Amino acid sequence: LKTLKNPRVWLDAATQIFFSLSLAFGGLIAFSSYNPPKNDCEKDAVTVAIVNSMTSLYASIPVFSVLGFKATTGYWDCLDRNIISIINEFDLPEESIIRQNYTAWISFLNSSYPEKIAGLKLKSCDLQEFLDQGVSGTGLAFIIFTQAIILMPGSQAWAILFFIMLFSLGLSSMFGNIEGVFTPLLELRIISKSIPKELLSGIICLICFLVALCFTLGSGSYWIDIFDSYAGSLPLLVIAFFEVIGVAYVYKIKRFSKDVKWMTGRKLNLYWQITWRFISPLLLLIVFVAFVTLQIQKPPSYAAWNPKYVCFPMKEDKVYPPWVLAICVLLAVLPCVFVPLVALFHLIKRMRRSKDPSFVPPEVFSCQGANS
C-alpha cells in the first residue's frame, strides 16, 4: 500500500505504458497517417491495447521468475559465506553446519559465544531484502538478468537467446521512433521530399548514434538514468496531456466523434466520451502534480557505485550536483516548451491572416460546400 501511494511508482508505470504503446512519441500518429481514410481506428486501438497488456503480463512471468531466482541464489550465497566463517572460527568439521540448521547453530553460538560471533561481523541474510533489491531498466537487463542467466543450466544458450531478444526489441522500437521523426519532417515540408528517404533515415540514425555515445562512457549508466527519468518520462506525460486537451477541448470532442464515426461507420459509446473528456486528462494531471510536488520536497538523487560505502555492494544515494540538475531541467523542459511555442506561433499567424482583407475563413468554404 505504501508503494502504491508513491507518485514515482505511478510515473514509472505511465512511462512503461507510454514506451510499450509508443504514446506521445509520434510514432503511432506517423504510422496511422499511412492508413486509408476509412480505417477502423477504434478496432485497431482496442486490439493494440489488449495485445500490449497481454504481452506485458506474459513478460512479467519470466521477469519475476528470474528476479526470484536471483534473490534466492544471493540469499543462499550469503548463508554459505557466514557458514564458512563460523566453521573456520570455531574449527568445526566440514558440513557440520548446513543451510537447514544454520538458524539453530546461530542461536546456540550467540548464547554461548556472543563475543566471537560479534567479532565475525556476519552478514544479515534476509530473503526479503534480496527480493527488495530488484532493479529496473538497464540494471535489470544487463546486470540482474545476466547474473541470473550465468547460474542457469545451459547458460550459454540462454545468454544468446536473451541478447538476441534485446537486440530485436531495440531494433523494433527504433522503427517507430525514427518514423515519428522522419514523417513530420517530410509532411511539414521542413525537408524537401526530393531527398532520398534512405539518406534521411541514415542521417537521423547517425545523429541518434552520436548523441548516444555519451551512454558508452564510464558514467554512461548515470546518463541513462538521467535521460530515462527526465527526458523519457515527464515530457511524455506533459505532451500526452496536451494531446488529450487539444483533441477534447480545442478541436472539440463532438467534431472528433463525427470524424471517427465517418471512419468506422459506428457512433462512439459513452466510455470513450467520458475517458477523453475527464478521466484521461485528470489522471495525467494528478500524476504530474504529484511528481512535481515530490521533486520539490526531496532534491533529485541517484544511486552510485561506491566501493568505500559502508553498505557496499549496495548503492549509495547521492544528490545531483547543480550542473547536472540544470541538465535534468533542460531535458524535462525542452521537449515540453515546443507545445506552447507552436501554439503561440499559429495563434499569431492566424491573427495576422484575419487582419488581411483577402482572407476567407475555412468555415465559409465548408458552408458553401454544404449549401451547394
- Alpha helices, DSSP H only, in 188-321? 197-212, 220-226, 234-245, 253-264, 270-274, 280-297
Helices (H) and strands (E) in the chain, counts: 17, 2
Cell numbers that stand for 354 in this block: 484575419
Q: In angstroms, rounded to a whole number, what is the distance separating the alpha carbons of residues 340 and 346?
A: 10
Q: In angstroms, rounded to a whole number, what is the distance separating the alpha carbons of residues 364 and 369?
A: 9
Cα 245 from chain centroid? 23
Check the annotation: does 20 bind a ligand. yes
Cell numbers that stand for 20 in this block: 510499450
**Residue among 176, 167, 135, 144 at smallest CA distance from 30:** 176
Q: In angstroms, rounded to a whole number, what is the distance separating the alpha carbons of residues 182 and 197?
A: 9
**Residue among 222, 170, 249, 240 at smallest CA distance from 328:** 222
SS3 301: strand
Cell numbers that stand for 305 in this block: 557505485
Tracing cell 531494433 back to the chain, one arrives at: 171
DSSP letter, residue 143: I
Check the annotation: does 28 bind a ligand. no
Rounded to 5 degrees, what are φ and ψ at 106? -60, -40
DSSP letter, residue 14: H
Cell numbers that stand for 12 in this block: 514509472
* Torsion angle of C-alpha atoms 183, 249, 242, 360, degrees rounded to 10: 50
**Residue among 163, 113, 165, 119 at smallest CA distance from 142:** 163
**Residue among 104, 67, 97 at smallest CA distance from 83:** 97
Check the annotation: does 366 bind a ligand. no
Check the annotation: does 52 bind a ligand. yes
Q: In angstroms, rounded to a whole number, what is the distance separating the alpha carbons of residues 76 and 79?
A: 5
Binding residues for Na(+): 20, 52, 169, 173
Cite the annotated binding site by residue number. 20, 52, 169, 173
